[in-house]
Amino acid sequence: MRRLIVLVAILIIMLAVISAFSNYLPQISNFLPGVTTPQFTNEKVKIVTEESVVIDAVKKVGPSVVTIVEERTVQSLRQFEFGPFSIFGVPGGEEQQSVNIGSGFIVTKDGLIVTNKHVVSDREVKYQIITSNDKKYQVQKIYRDPLNDVALIKIEPSENPGNTLKTVEIGDSSRLQVGQFVIAIGTALGEFKNTVTTGVISGLGRGITAGDEFAGYVERLDNVIQTSAAINPGNSGGPLLNSSAQVIGVNTAVASGGQNIGFALPINVIKDSIKNFNETGQFNRPFLGVEYKMISRDLALLNEVPEGALVQNVVTDSSADKAEIKSGDIITKIDGKKVQAGGNELAKIISEKKVGDTMSITIWRDGKTLEFKVTLQTAPNS
């Protein structure tokens, strides 16, 4: 009992000393410049967790994410009754069929939407946009970037009077780091609108092939973002966000045969495209006019050819065609700099040039080294 009384007394004395000492802390700090005292206010402190970051980002960006619908005319089937039996498969009239095929996000209030070029590659069909609040808009125009898997879709906001289009905030993909937390939003599997997944940036500067080989559309993309955030068919064209709810990438592809391996185009590529488009009304890009495949050093040694870009096809009336570059040529140097797989690749070199620039191109053809002067033309808008 005595021990308890002693402990209580000591505790009371300690509290009294602490209370008295705290009253003198500001005065003490005046005499000790190197000592700072904590400042206590009545302001509310918000505890930030991964969960709250995702919730806030989805609330902010979700209304800007749209679903892209393909409207296709198909042949309907008529059913005939014959006694107790039914005969199916007799061709009838034509009917409209709508299929959700991808995602996009709104970048301007006057109706400019970013998506992937491969999502809207079919020129024989009509497209429709459905916003997160189920408002429908007919696509007025599609502008496809000839050098990147990017397309800008234009809709008319007046189609739904009173419905305000909410735009996203664009971030900076040049400052990304491996391990950084990211959020992906899109219409997963063409069915589940505004599906949210999270992950990290797994790699930077990757090279992939995007598109659909069976549909006849594939494209080599360099310098893309690899992420562990789940990206499914239908997510293509949707935004990849950082923890500040800024768009830092455009979800583009998922690795076949792999789990939690998705890819996104860096948003800075899209920023350049939008700026280019706003200034010229089109994608005013330098264009060499070749389809190619990069030959790595190992592959070059194996086949006893030089490292570089193997020309597989030359576009008629392009800069390359006018310079008489041919299929089977290997582009080894441009302006004296080596063309190398995984580093100084052909697409990267061309993207750094301007329309009208003249380049010196070194070609390897049938064991001979040739030099060509090529003036870059404007890429055809597709």
Catalytic residues: 118, 149, 236
The distance of Cα 17 from the centroid of its chain, to the nearest Å, equals 60
Q: From CA 123, how far away is CA 143, in angstroms rounded?
A: 11
For residue 281, is it left (φ>0), alpha (ψ between -120 and 50) or beta?
left
Q: From CA 323, how far away is CA 325, in angstroms rounded?
A: 6
Q: From CA 113, how far away is CA 278, in angstroms rounded?
A: 13
Residues 170-198 as b or e (16 or more Cβ within 10 Å = b)? bbebeebeeebebbbbbbbebeebbbbbb
Please provide residue 77's backbone torsions phi and psi, each rounded to the nearest 5 degrees: -115, 135
R_g (Cα) of the chain, nearest Å: 30
The number of C-alpha atoms within 13 Å of 213 and in the hemisphere containing its C-beta is 3
Long-range contacts of 290-299 (CB under 8 A, 24+ apart): 290/314, 290/315, 290/318, 290/320, 290/325, 290/331, 290/346, 291/315, 292/331, 292/346, 294/341, 294/342, 294/345, 294/346, 295/330, 295/341, 296/341, 296/342, 297/340, 297/341
Task: Report the candidate in 179, 181, 171, 180 with the shortest Cα–Cα distance to residue 105.
Answer: 171
Q: 314 vs 135, 215, 287, 369, CA distance in Å?
A: 44, 21, 12, 19
Task: Report the candidate in 113, 133, 109 with the shortest Cα–Cα distance to residue 68.
Answer: 113
Residue 250 near residue 134, CB atoms below 8 Å: no
Q: Which residues contact 281 (CB under 8 A, 6 or more apart)?
A: none
Look up residue 13 and give its amino acid.
I
Q: From CA 218, how far away is CA 108, in angstroms rounded?
A: 29
